[in-house]
Amino acid sequence: MSKQLYIDGQAVSFEEGQTLMDAALAAGIYIPHLCHNPEFTPYGNCRLCTVKVNGRYAAACITPAQPDARVESNTSELQQQRQLLLQMLFVEGNHQCPACEKSGACQLQAVAYYCGMLAPALSHFYPRLAMDASHPEMVIDFNRCILCALCVRASEQADGKQVFSVSGRGGDARLRVNSASGKLADTDFSAADRAAHVCPTGAILHKHKGYEVPIGKRFYDQQPVSQVGDVTSRGSDEN
């Protein structure tokens, strides 16, 4: 039987076993998120979906929906905290939007716009990581990885492979390619894999397609992320 909770005062129905994010998405309520994609097991890593539930902080994508819960999401306090998280994400990697092939189809960029972040406010301090262009169809720029692990989960849960993993802790955490050489060319990764289409940033890109869709005509150039949803939930993440 369906139950009810309240998100920013709006009554929302949910089923037993759903998370707050599930309930919000089903009701058409946008809660900013980056590591969540309903196709895959929730990860709870980016913390962008943090809301307040009966006055306490909780990550919406991993918190079970409870009857009569009072959820706050669209408040200036939470939006400010999300902006701060985004500011940190932007300086922890090479997220120079005007120079990135993914601009306009990048979920990180789109969520930043939604949360009111228009320019970086902190100094960049990311290490320079080598790119992997060994694969004939795909290229990885590890400097743009936000460690959402969507590619890890997509490879395991949709493709039945284990092409990627995340290892290390804190500032040393890195996306790894699971091959003896550490190179993508030495895996069974394919451009047709689901994992090749779920990167929310420009970390995993398709070769030979650069700027196929012009800047200004891409997915998030048309509508904000709160209305159009996740580019990574579509069949293609490229425009």
Interaction site with ligand FES (CB under 6 A) = 33-36, 44-49, 59, 61
* 63 CB-near residues (< 8 Å, 6+ apart): 19, 20, 51, 53
The answer to whether the beta carbons of residues 102 and 159 sit under 8 Å apart is no
Cβ 63 to ligand FES, closest distance in Å?
9
Cβ 109 to ligand FES, closest distance in Å?
16
Cβ 36 to ligand FES, closest distance in Å?
4
* 229 CB-near residues (< 8 Å, 6+ apart): none
Cβ 225 to ligand FES, closest distance in Å?
13
Question: Could you tell me if residue 212 is left (phi over 0), alpha (psi between -120 and 50 degrees) or otherwise beta?
Answer: alpha
Neighbours of 92 (CB within 10 A): 18
**Which lies closer to ligand FES via its Cβ, residue 111 or residue 205?**
111
**Which lies closer to ligand FES via its Cβ, residue 40 or residue 189?**
40
**Which lies closer to ligand FES via its Cβ, residue 53 or residue 61?**
61
Cβ 108 to ligand FES, closest distance in Å?
12
**Which lies closer to ligand FES via its Cβ, residue 30 or residue 126?**
30
Look-up of token digits 């891409």: 218
Whole-angstrom Cα distance, residue 81 to residue 57? 11
Radius of gyration from C-alpha coordinates of the chain: 18
**Which lies closer to ligand FES via its Cβ, residue 213 or residue 228?**
228
